[in-house]
Structure formats: C-alpha cells, structure tokens
C-alpha cells in the first residue's frame, strides 16, 4: 500500500507507517502532475499540508485513492464534502498543532508590544551609528500584563492561547458562536487549576480588547471576518494577530487601519495569495511577519505525523 506525503511528514510518522507495512513517498509532486503520478503509482493515501490542493480533478480521476489526510487543522485546500460523497475518508490533526500555534501567537504579542520585530530589522543596518536614536524610538513599548486579549474563535488553539495569555497576566475576552463557555485547565508549577471563561459578543470583544487574535477557519462564503466595519468598532491603537488563515482579515482594510493608527501594530503568519504575499504587507513597518510557521515546530510535526499514521493504520485494520 502506497502513501504519498506530498508536503512532507515527520520521520516518526514515516517510521510508524513503514513498520505497519506501508510504502511512504515524500518527494513533492507538482500540482499539475499529481493525477498522473497518483494513477501511475497506484497511491491509496495522499497526505498534504497547505501547499497542495485536493480538488475535484484528483477526487474524480484517481480511483486508487482511499484516504486524503491534512497535516494540521484547516482543510480549505481540500474539497472535503465532495470527497466524502465519493466515499473517501478525509482526516486531519486538529489537536496536534494547538500548542505550537498558541506559542507563535504569544511570540508575536510580545514582539508587537515592544517593537522587537522592527528593532530586529533596523539594528543590524543602523545600530552602530544610530544606537541612541533607535533606543529612543523603541522605548515606548507596553506590557501585556493587565491588558485584554480578545480571542476570536475559542476552539483548541484559541484556548491554548488563552492559557499562555492568562499566565502572562492578561484578561481574556472570547468570541465563539458555537459555545457559551469553556473551562481551561492551567498547570502552574505542578499545581492544577481550572479557569472558566464565558464567551461574549463580537461587538463587546472588538470594543474592549487591547489585543486581538484570530483562530477561525476561512468562512465558506470567502468573506473576511474582520473588515472596515469591525476595525471601526475597535479601540484606537489596538494590536492584532492573525495566525489562522489568510483572508479572515481584509488585508486592504488592515493596511488602511494601520495608516490611520486605528491599529497600532499587526502580526501576520498567514496571507492571501500564499506563497506570494502582498508586498504592501511585507514592506509595512508596523507588521510583524512570519511565513506561515504556526504549526512548524519539531514537536508539533512529530505529533502530526504520528496522529496521521495512527488514523491510517486503524483504517486498514478494519
């Protein structure tokens, strides 16, 4: 039985699959060549991340495929419902990357509260001659402790982000249309405690948050969750992080909000048009940038690979 991990898989995942008798191929195949490659090699399982799309052409023209797997949470690059209608198993790893994404969000929160990202751009080039100028420029940071973090989408990643933010002394406002409250278990120095957070309305979150972090899938209608209307309801000087999906924030509206100082700083790990983000975003001095690495820790990759392997093995055991 052959598996194509077209966007890669951890060695621990490969070992688990090979020990169970599967043949795992990890060489990336271009999107335009996928149908032919799958059919020529009789691939039964295709595993992807965000780089490869599994659309109707592959589902319709690759009869050997039994399982489509997504390493990560969001599956907007897979025609999930259509695949299920055709009798295919579609799997993902919703829990495996929650902690790693939450930690990246916290890294961005610290970065945009103290202008670490911009300082790191300017110090190598100007630090020797303009040290005092840069010191004065970046001496106007703010602390996270005591500030309110609004979390839009309060699933696994949102709740993990809340754990870290609570540990940093932040207050939490959470919006999620699918839940009224969530109990978060904190483990502090070996002592466990439970914090219950009641979700609130989007309007209250937008108007009362000092920082906002998004943890939502891309809406099916393709419309941004945060646009001009939402920015208008926010506090002046709010700071916002998106490590969810490119497009859940209207990028043009974000740039306008940055120009008007409605948003003082932003942090983006995801972009519309990946892998070619807008140059206007990339060149904006008020944006902390990472190239879609939310789940890209060694630990998360191991968890993702092992969870995919376990689900595949269990399917063939039936």
Contact of 102 with 157, CB cutoff 8 Å: yes
* CA-based nearest residue to 267, from 252, 249, 253: 249
| Angle, CA 21 vertex, CA 16 and CA 24 arms, to 5° | 70
* CA-based nearest residue to 305, from 72, 23, 36: 72
Q: Is 28 a catalytic residue?
A: no
**Which segments within 171-297 are labelled E, that is strand?**
171-175, 181-188, 191-198, 211-214, 238-242, 263-268, 287-289
Listing from the earlier edge strand, what are the strands of the sheet with 89-92? 23-25, 2-5, 43-48, 67-70, 89-92
Report how far residue 120's alpha carbon sits from residue 10's, in angstroms, rounded to the nearest whole number: 31
**What tokens were used for 306?**
């092992």
Q: How far is CA 60 from CA 25, 80, 83, 86, in A?
A: 22, 13, 9, 8
- The active-site residue, picked from 245, 251, 303, 306, is 245
Contact of 1 with 23, CB cutoff 8 Å: yes
Q: Is 280 a catalytic residue?
A: no
Report how far residue 306's alpha carbon sits from residue 261's, in angstroms, rounded to the nearest whole number: 45
**Any idea how long the chain is?**
318
Q: Is 61 a catalytic residue?
A: no
- The active-site residue, picked from 292, 303, 306, 307, is 292
Active site amino acids: 245, 274, 292
């Amino acid at each position: 039985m052959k598996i194509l991990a077209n966007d890669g898989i951890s060695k621990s995942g490969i070992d688990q699959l090979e020990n169970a008798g599967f043949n795992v191929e990890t060489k990336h195949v271009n999107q335009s060549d996928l149908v032919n490659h799958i059919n020529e090699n009789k691939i039964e399982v295709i595993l992807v991340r965000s780089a490869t799309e599994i659309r109707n052409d592959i589902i319709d023209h690759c009869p050997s495929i039994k399982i489509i797997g997504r390493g990560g949470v969001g599956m907007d690059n897979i025609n999930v419902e259509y695949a299920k209608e055709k009798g295919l198993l579609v799997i993902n790893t919703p829990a495996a990357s929650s902690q790693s994404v939450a930690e990246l969000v916290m890294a961005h929160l610290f970065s945009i509260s103290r202008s670490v990202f911009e300082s790191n751009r300017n110090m190598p080039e100007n630090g020797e001659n303009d040290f005092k100028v840069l010191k004065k420029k970046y001496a106007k940071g703010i602390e996270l402790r005591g500030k309110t973090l609004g979390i839009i989408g309060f699933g696994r990643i949102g709740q993990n982000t809340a754990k870290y933010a609570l540990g940093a002394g932040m207050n939490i406002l959470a919006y999620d249309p699918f839940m009224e409250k969530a109990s978060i278990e904190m483990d502090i120095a070996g002592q466990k405690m439970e914090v219950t957070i009641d979700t609130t309305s989007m309007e209250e979150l937008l108007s009362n948050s000092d920082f906002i972090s998004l943890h939502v899938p891309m809406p099916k209608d393709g419309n941004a969750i945060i646009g001009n209307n939402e920015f208008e309801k926010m506090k002046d000087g709010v700071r916002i992080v998106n490590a969810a999906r490119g497009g859940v924030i209207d990028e043009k509206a974000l740039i306008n909000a940055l120009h008007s100082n409605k948003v003082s700083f932003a942090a983006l790990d995801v972009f519309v048009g990946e892998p070619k983000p807008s140059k206007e975003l990339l060149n904006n001095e008020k944006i902390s940038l990472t190239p879609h690495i939310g789940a890209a820790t060694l630990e998360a990759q191991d968890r993702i690979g092992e969870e995919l392997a376990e689900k595949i093995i269990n399917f063939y055991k039936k």
